[in-house]
């Protein structure tokens, strides 16, 4: 119901505010054109764009990818400023939070392309709204490095700057391959990967961003085998598996608060201090910049960070 109301409100906004010029321009961008670039997005939509100059990115990491592809931005969400620390001009407008963007602000910017995440339900809910408003909207899925490469390639093909795909994508891929080619011990390290919340923590498997990196590095994630760890913190299962390493990704912006939450929830359990990883100093809080937020062009740095913890320096 809320989505329908939003859609009607947006259409009413378009009509009442005389944005016919916006609708006309967007319709021209969407129509098939020999000069345009056509691709299929993560939701299966056929998207056609032609030299977009007024681009709005509804996720900070997508704003960074678009800039890395040589594009320019008109609007971004707050996380582009707060989390990514991007150097953006004062002319670039904030259109709200990534999970609650303002359609009114987006439409007012007269965009010729909007970049959205197919994995964010609030973004997926806007698909028909953008279609009805005649605004080209492209959805991308970026969880793993390969997804980042795919989006970057599409963006550089749109901007016509393939050299930036090589610089910001293929060079990082070569670094990662070199890291993974390093020698590893014959024994496979077992790991527990946790992400913290205000009320505790839950496990993450190898399908997640950091989980995939650990798998690539030769680790066995205990949450792959014990699915109950993905729903709640299960000390009995953790004690039984007794992983070699425990990695924790803190949510939120306050690391001190994250540590406090850990102490007040999982660490107060008497069995926690008896775990092999805890006793051996292999209970590690990972930096959000490398493992919560998408590393984008610095993905190789995240792989290196984990490699050095697991196996020492890679020389």
What does the domain layout of the chain look like in residue ranges?
Answer: 2-174, 190-311
* Band of pLDDT at residue 25, cut at 50, 70 and 90: very low
Asked if pLDDT for residue 219 goes beyond 80, the answer is yes
Q: Average pLDDT of 3-24?
A: 39
Average pLDDT along the chain: 86
Of residues 161 and 182, more confidence is placed in 161
Q: 98-102, 223-227, 302-306 — which is least confidently predicted? A: 223-227
pLDDT at position 277 = 96
pLDDT at 303: 97
Q: Percent of the chain, pLDDT > 70?
A: 85
**In the predicted structure, residue 10 carries a pLDDT above the cut 50:** no
Q: What number is the average pLDDT over the span 41-46?
A: 96
The residue with greater pLDDT, 15 or 227, is 227
Per-residue pLDDT for 199 more than 80? no
Output the pLDDT for position 263.
79
Q: State residue 251's pLDDT score.
A: 82
> Could you tell me which residues come within 8 angstroms of residue 181 by beta carbon, excluding any fewer than 6 positions away?
none
**pLDDT the model gives residue 262:** 79
Same fold, 2-174 and 190-311: yes
CATH superfamily of 190-311: Nitrogenase molybdenum iron protein domain (3.40.50.1980)
Give me the mean pLDDT over the 130-150 stretch.
Answer: 96
Q: Which CATH class is domain 2-174?
A: alpha beta
pLDDT tens for 250-272 read 886 666 777 777 777 788 888 99
Residue 193 has pLDDT above 60, yes or no: yes
Question: Given a cut of 90, is residue 16 above it in pLDDT?
Answer: no
Q: Does residue 94 have a pLDDT over 80?
A: yes
**What's the pTM?**
0.85
Quote the pLDDT of residue 255.
Answer: 67
């Amino acid at each position: 119901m809320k989505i329908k109301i939003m859609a009607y409100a947006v259409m009413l906004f378009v009509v009442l505010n005389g944005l016919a010029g916006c609708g006309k321009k967007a319709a021209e961008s969407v129509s098939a054109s020999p000069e345009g670039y056509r691709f299929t997005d993560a939701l299966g939509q056929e998207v056609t764009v032609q030299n977009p100059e007024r681009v709005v990115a509804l996720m900070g990491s997508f704003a960074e990818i678009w800039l890395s592809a040589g594009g320019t931005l008109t609007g971004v969400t707050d996380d582009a400023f707060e989390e990514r620390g991007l150097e953006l001009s004062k002319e670039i407008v904030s259109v709200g939070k990534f999970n609650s963007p303002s359609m009114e602000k987006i439409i007012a910017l007269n965009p010729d392309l909007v970049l959205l995440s197919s994995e964010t339900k609030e973004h997926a809910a806007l698909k028909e709204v953008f279609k009805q408003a005649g605004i080209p909207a492209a959805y991308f899925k970026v969880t793993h490095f390969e997804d980042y490469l795919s989006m970057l390639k599409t963006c550089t093909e749109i901007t016509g700057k393939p050299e930036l795909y090589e610089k910001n994508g293929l060079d990082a891929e070569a670094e990662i391959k070199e890291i993974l080619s390093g020698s590893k011990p014959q024994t496979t390290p077992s790991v527990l990967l946790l992400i913290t919340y205000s009320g505790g923590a839950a496990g993450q498997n190898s399908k997640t961003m950091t989980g995939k990196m650990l798998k690539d590095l030769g680790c066995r994630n205990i949450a792959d085998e014990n699915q109950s760890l993905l729903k709640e913190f299960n000390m009995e299962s953790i004690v039984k598996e007794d992983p070699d390493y425990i990695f924790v990704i803190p949510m939120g912006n306050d690391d001190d608060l994250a540590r406090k939450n850990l102490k007040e929830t999982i660490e107060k359990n008497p069995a926690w201090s008896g775990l092999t990883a805890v006793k051996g100093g292999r209970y590690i809080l990972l930096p959000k910049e490398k493992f919560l937020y998408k590393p984008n062009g610095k993905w190789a740095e995240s792989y290196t960070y984990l490699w050095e913890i697991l196996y020492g320096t890679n020389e």
